[in-house]
């Protein structure tokens, strides 16, 4: 897809609906449809509607980001842009920005000093192209978490595991009790699990060497082999019905005790919250699988497609400003289970798991860029395919490493 060749013509043909002089409806697309996510979206809509005459028109898209993103991009390219859209913080909108299809937020960012209040700096950097800002980071989402049902272990006379190795050692006992050790779904959840192991088990140095430097030697290192060995363990701990399962269904399996644990991003915490579960009492969270206390700093950002209606542009800027405000950052992230992009707000009401994440973020050395910030969508897709092939077959670790090396040899 050559987006830039299409941009000028598409901008000229954008269909703009009629709006009253006193109110602006702003359609906002996103893929937040689970219970915890819906509660967080409600916070944003209520905050925005309370600003004045503007109105949040919800454009939820069922499925994951991998399903929603192509639909969002297609609408923008087709000349029927939404007013605002959620996308992953990273490179998903890179070509749209380069093509001039996104609203420039630089003046607002400078006026409100986003550079001084948004942390880590990599989040705003991911929204910046040639010195101009084109999106607003809303939260920090990290994949680097394992969620454990404490009651499953305690009620069966087992110690709650503190790391992946302890969990794997207890898996046979769990199966004897009729409990699925590890809940997951496919496809993206499986790839996410392997990415968590890349950092949690392989460590920061190896992760950056592979994903940032595209280092072939790092792919074939002993540290990376440990990652694939752990991934091989994981494929023996899931149930046969995992394929096609939604992530929040897998989370509910842990909440209800059908499964002992799930490797999933911190958005899972929103599901525990809706279920009235208490961190440290009903469930535990293990950042970095209990080994490497590191967090990747991906998350969600909002982009605002260009249009020729000044009322929409004004409404877009008001939403952008609201998203980074102190009040929104507190209310939204408490509901979502994610971490705020501001370090100057009061999160005393946060759960113990959120506080673990906040403590990790205090040390810049504990922060690593997310996969979406380091490799392009094509490379991510190839790694997702490889992870699925490995997880659903008897592919050996040696074969997987060779395939991964071939992928990163041509990665951008």
* Residue ranges per structural domain of the chain: 25-141+297-343, 145-296+371-411
Q: Would the CATH topology of 25-141+297-343 be identical to that of 145-296+371-411?
A: yes
pLDDT in tens, the chain (412 residues): 444 434 443 443 343 343 344 589 999 999 999 988 999 999 999 999 999 889 999 999 998 888 899 999 999 999 999 999 999 887 778 899 999 999 999 999 999 999 999 988 888 998 999 999 999 999 988 899 999 999 999 999 999 999 999 999 999 999 999 999 999 998 889 999 999 999 999 999 999 999 999 998 999 999 999 999 999 999 999 999 999 899 999 999 999 999 999 999 999 988 999 999 999 999 999 999 999 889 887 789 999 999 989 999 999 999 999 999 999 999 999 888 888 999 888 888 888 998 998 899 889 899 888 787 788 889 988 999 999 999 999 999 999 999 999 999 988 6
User: What one-character DSSP code corresponds to residue 275?
Assistant: T
Give, in order, the Cα–Cα distances in Å from 105 to each of 25, 89, 126, 320, 323. Answer: 20, 16, 13, 8, 13
* Residue 20 buriedness (CB in 10 A; 0-12 / 13-18 / 19+): exposed
pLDDT at 405: 96
Is 266:357 a contact under the CB 8 Å cutoff?
A: yes
> Would the pTM count as exceeding 0.95?
no
Give CA–CA dist 342/144, Å, rounded: 20
| Homologous superfamily, domain 145-296+371-411 | Periplasmic binding protein-like II (3.40.190.10)
The architecture CATH gives domain 25-141+297-343: 3-Layer(aba) Sandwich (3.40)
């Amino acid at each position: 897809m050559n987006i830039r060749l299409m941009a000028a013509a598409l901008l000229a043909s954008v269909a703009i609906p009629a709006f009253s002089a006193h109110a602006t409806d702003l359609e906002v697309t996103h893929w937040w449809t689970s219970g915890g996510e819906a509660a967080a979206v409600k916070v944003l809509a209520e905050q925005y509607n309370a600003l004045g005459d503007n109105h949040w028109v919800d454009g939820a898209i069922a499925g994951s980001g991998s399903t929603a993103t192509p639909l969002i991009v297609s609408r923008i390219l087709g000349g029927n842009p939404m007013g605002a859209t959620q996308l992953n913080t990273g490179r998903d909108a890179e070509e749209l920005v380069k093509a001039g299809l996104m609203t420039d937020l630089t003046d607002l960012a400078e006026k409100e000093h986003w550079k001084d209040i948004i942390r880590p700096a990599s989040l705003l950097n991911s929204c910046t192209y040639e010195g101009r800002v084109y999106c607003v980071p809303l939260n920090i989402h990290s994949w680097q978490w394992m969620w454990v049902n404490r009651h499953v272990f305690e009620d069966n006379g087992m110690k709650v595991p503190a790391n992946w190795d302890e969990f794997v050692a207890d898996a046979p006992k769990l199966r004897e009790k009729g409990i699925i050790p590890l809940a997951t779904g496919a496809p993206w959840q499986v790839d996410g699990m392997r990415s968590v192991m890349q950092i949690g088990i392989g460590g920061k140095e190896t992760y950056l060497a592979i994903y940032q430097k595209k280092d072939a030697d790092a792919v074939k290192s002993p540290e990376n082999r440990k990652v694939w060995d752990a991934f091989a363990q994981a494929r023996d701990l899931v149930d046969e019905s995992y394929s096609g399962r939604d992530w929040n269904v897998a989370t509910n399996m842990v909440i209800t005790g059908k499964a002992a644990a799930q490797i999933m991003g911190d958005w899972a915490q929103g599901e525990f919250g809706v279920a009235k579960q208490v961190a440290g009492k009903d469930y535990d969270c293990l950042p970095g699988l209990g080994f490497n206390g590191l967090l990747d700093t991906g998350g969600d950002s909002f982009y605002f497609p260009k249009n020729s209606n000044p009322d929409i542009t004004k409404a877009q800027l008001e939403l952008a400003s609201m998203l980074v405000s102190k009040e929104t950052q507190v209310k939204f992230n408490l509901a979502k289970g994610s971490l705020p992009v501001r370090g100057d707000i009061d999160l005393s009401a946060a759960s113990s798991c959120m506080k673990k994440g906040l403590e990790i973020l205090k040390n810049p050395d504990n922060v690593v860029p997310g996969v979406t910030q380091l490799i392009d969508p094509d490379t991510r897709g190839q790694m997702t395919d490889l992870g699925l092939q490995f997880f659903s077959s008897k592919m050996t670790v040696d074969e997987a490493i060779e395939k991964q090396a071939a992928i990163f040899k041509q990665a951008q």
